[in-house]
Amino acid sequence: MNLKRYRVNNIKEALKFIKRDLGPDALIVSTRQVKEGKGAFGMFGKKMLEVTAAPGEKKNPSVASKVTTKKALESYRGGKDSVEDTFADTFMRPQKNSALPVADQTRNIMLPIQKELQGIQLTLGDLSSQPNALDKHLVGELKNELGEMRHMIHVLASRSGNLSDPDIPENLLLLYQQMKFSGLEEKFARRLVMEAERNLNGDDLENFAYVKIFLARMLMKIIKITRGLEGVKSSQRILALLGPTGVGKTTTVVKIAAEQMRKHKRKVALISVDTNNRSSSEQLRAFAKLIKAPFSTVKEKAELNRLINSYEDYDSIIIDTEGFSQRNDEQLFEMREIFDERGRIQNSLVLSATSKDVDMIEVTRKFGCMPIDSIIFTKLDESATYGSLFNHAIRFKKPLSYLTLGQKVPEDLEVASRERLVDLLLNISGK
């Protein structure tokens, strides 16, 4: 991370330099009091504030953040699992009158403000445990800055026509705004923070990091996962990837096949269901030749069943399918005729993390004419917000199996985990 340090008289002065050098979405990493100037080791020097900041680059969900997130969540002090379990049960019940998420344009304006606001809030939390770190005047300036930025968020929110924020403690309000501006539907974010307020005492609510981890654990209870193909109970793993055009199905098939061969040392066979002689079948054929795996194309269900039976000695069979619009009822009917059975083949619906909520809903409902066992989200590296992943998981209650975040094979494939998903939304790891 490209860090810059500033020695200044107060936080307002630091913010001015940080915004000038690193941009409006820069993050405050740490603050500490130092002495500068006269005497040995600066003992009699002037007290200064040293602020460390980093540019707020677009989030690229690297694999490394998973470990940090897991450690942070494991360090949670609580014993409130029963509360979270009960909340998860009620949260996943069907809800009526689902509201649309915050407009993308408004979210893009407010995210940088939200990041800076969180940085200041974390700084205040650190200072509260260090009685000699800063004088009361400087802490007051920090709080004033926090108040000004909260006012900016309220003004922008009112202009965008959103519902008013709930009347909750400041730390919960900040996280509520973060989740909402990261794309989590307003009613879901509201229910989370209201439930958290009911189950946290006053001291806990004053600890920003504690409140954040508490919300993260609540979210973890809501999300379902499959552990990729490791969750398949049968000895032979057969996975079919379904979905619209352009979401990255063929690339994901390649990544999963490579993962099965390299990581798990399994024999893999590849199949393409191709009724229209599309070019992606040739791409998959070339990859199969490269890894020395059998590859075949089929056009109908009987042909697919015969081929699967011929691959009985293979540990994993990965099936690619042609992409088409969810509004093409004729092709949906053809695909349903092939993948309408439950059990033998695990059907995964592939969705792009860059898609709008309303489009994901339509795709899932249309492809829901076939049994859908899990969801794969692709192109996480191309998305700046991840609330839509949670919105979708909450609405449809389908487990997540894989995430993809780039073009590298198989490095940019990741088995979906609860820790990873909450980190994408709440940035537990700080990466």
pLDDT of residue 353: 94
Name the amino acid, one letter, at 360.
Answer: M
pLDDT of residue 2: 64
Q: How many residues in total does the chain contain? A: 431
pLDDT in tens, 109-120: 556 666 666 666
- The crossing angle, in degrees rounded to 10, of helices 208-222 and 65-74 is 100
Spatial separation of the C-alpha atoms in residues 216 and 404, rounded to whole Å: 22
Task: State percent of the chain over pLDDT 90.
Answer: 41
User: Would you say residue 127 has pLDDT above 80?
Assistant: no
Mean pLDDT for the chain overall? 79
Residue 4: pLDDT band with limits 50, 70, 90: confident
Residue 209: pLDDT band with limits 50, 70, 90: confident
CB 353 within 8 A of CB 382: yes
pLDDT of residue 71: 67
Spatial separation of the C-alpha atoms in residues 29 and 218, rounded to whole Å: 26
Residue 368: pLDDT band with limits 50, 70, 90: very high
For 341-366, what is the mean pLDDT? Answer: 92
Strand order in the sheet with 27-36: 4-8, 46-54, 27-36
pLDDT of residue 17: 85
Spatial separation of the C-alpha atoms in residues 138 and 414, rounded to whole Å: 44
pLDDT in tens, 156-203: 554 444 446 678 888 888 888 888 888 899 999 999 999 999 999 888
Instruction: Identify the architecture of domain 228-415 in CATH.
Output: 3-Layer(aba) Sandwich (3.40)
pLDDT of residue 121: 61
- Host H or E run for residue 106: helix 104-128
Residue 91: pLDDT band with limits 50, 70, 90: low
For 307-320, what is the mean pLDDT? Answer: 95
Q: Could you state, in order of their start, the residue ranges of all structural domains in the chain?
A: 58-222, 228-415
Q: How much is the pTM? A: 0.69
Task: State percent of the chain over pLDDT 70.
Answer: 68
Q: With 0-12 CB in 10 A as exposed, 13-18 as middle and 19+ as buried, what is 160?
A: middle
pLDDT of residue 422: 93
pLDDT of residue 86: 61
Spatial separation of the C-alpha atoms in residues 105 and 384, rounded to whole Å: 12
The partner residues of 346 in beta bridges, in order of sequence, read 239
pLDDT of residue 282: 84
Phi first, then psi, for residue 32 (nearest 5°) are -155, 155
pLDDT of residue 345: 93
User: Would you say residue 308 has pLDDT above 90?
Assistant: yes
Q: Which of 158-162, 338-342, 356-360 has the lowest mean pLDDT?
A: 158-162
Spatial separation of the C-alpha atoms in residues 237 and 261, rounded to whole Å: 13
User: Would you say residue 43 has pLDDT above 60?
Assistant: no
Does residue 400 sit in helix, strand or coil? strand
pLDDT of residue 7: 87
Residue 13, number of CB atoms within 10 A of its CB: 15
The partner residues of 30 in beta bridges, in order of sequence, read 52
For 223-233, what is the mean pLDDT? Answer: 89
pLDDT of residue 338: 93
User: Would you say residue 105 has pLDDT above 60?
Assistant: no
Residue 40: pLDDT band with limits 50, 70, 90: very low
Residue 171, number of CB atoms within 10 A of its CB: 24
What dihedral angle (degrees, nearest 10) is formed by the CA atoms of 77, 83, 86, 87?
A: -80
CB 10 within 8 A of CB 134: no
User: Would you say residue 83 has pLDDT above 80?
Assistant: no
In the chain the first and final C-alpha atoms are separated, in Å, by 9
